[in-house]
């Protein structure tokens, strides 16, 4: 399975860009006056989850055989998405902080991410929708929905990072949120 070097660099740097955006949103929420603890909690959980997920995939899953790595890859990310959403709820409850409008989008985005990762796991390992014994192992085996899943997951994280960095109120800005998501999706699909 050969990947072009540019794809590896781009996927690595996009993941790090999302991590840096979450860390930056955390720092901004802490040092802003007045402090926005709800966004700080969410951005902190998201950055810790991304860093822990990267560590798990690079140091723990890499110890498995390549077929086992491929098998568990998307399932682990689905569990991490759900874990992050529950961790955000738990920390809000622990600190007695009310949810901000941006944090409500965290739940929607992480639920969509968990769904997309679960669908990718099902497609890759259970159903094999392109009826191949090892589907989507090579780029010429992939199909349209696989690309939509992959772009959608990264667009969700990029969208979420941008929303947590936003300063204004989101209530009533559904059209602008949808356009921002479409821009994230379009930028990643180039």
For the chain, the domain total comes to 1
DSSP assignment string, 18-56? HHHHHHHHHHHHHHSSS--HHHHHHHHHHHHHHHHHHHI
CA distance 33 to 27: 12
Is there a contact between 46 and 83 (Cβ–Cβ < 8 Å)? Answer: no
Residue (of 25, 32, 28) closest to 157 by Cα position: 25
Residue 12 has pLDDT above 80, yes or no: no
pTM: 0.76
Residue 121 has pLDDT above 60, yes or no: yes
CA distance 64 to 152: 27
Rounded to 5 degrees, what angle do the CA atoms 135, 137, 138 make? 115
Residue 1 has pLDDT above 50, yes or no: no
Residue (of 69, 108, 106) closest to 87 by Cα position: 106
Residue 140 has pLDDT above 70, yes or no: no
More confident residue, 11 or 79: 79
Q: What's the whole-number mean pLDDT along residues 161-166?
A: 77
Residue 169 binned pLDDT confidence (cut-offs 50, 70, 90): low
Range of the domain at 27: 5-189
Which tokens in the block code for residue 8?
């590896």
Residue 87 pLDDT? 92
CA distance 23 to 44: 7
């Amino acid at each position: 399975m050969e990947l072009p070097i540019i794809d590896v660099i781009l996927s690595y740097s996009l993941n790090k860009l999302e991590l840096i955006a979450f860390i930056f949103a955390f720092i901004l929420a802490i040092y802003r006056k007045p402090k926005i603890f709800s966004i700080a909690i969410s951005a902190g959980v998201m950055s810790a989850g991304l860093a822990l997920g990267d560590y798990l995939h690079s140091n723990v899953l890499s110890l498995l055989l390549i077929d086992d790595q491929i098998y568990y890859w998307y399932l682990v990310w689905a569990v991490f998405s759900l874990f992050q959403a529950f961790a955000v709820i738990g920390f809000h409850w622990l600190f007695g902080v009310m949810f901000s409008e941006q944090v409500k989008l965290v739940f929607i985005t992480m639920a969509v991410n968990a769904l997309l990762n679960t669908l990718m796991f099902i497609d890759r390992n259970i159903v094999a929708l392109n009826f191949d014994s090892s589907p989507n192992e090579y780029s010429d085996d992939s199909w349209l929905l696989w690309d939509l899943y992959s772009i959608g997951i990264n667009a969700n994280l990029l969208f979420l990072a941008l929303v947590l960095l936003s300063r204004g109120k989101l209530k009533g800005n559904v059209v602008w949120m949808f356009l921002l998501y479409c821009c994230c999706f379009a930028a990643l699909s180039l």
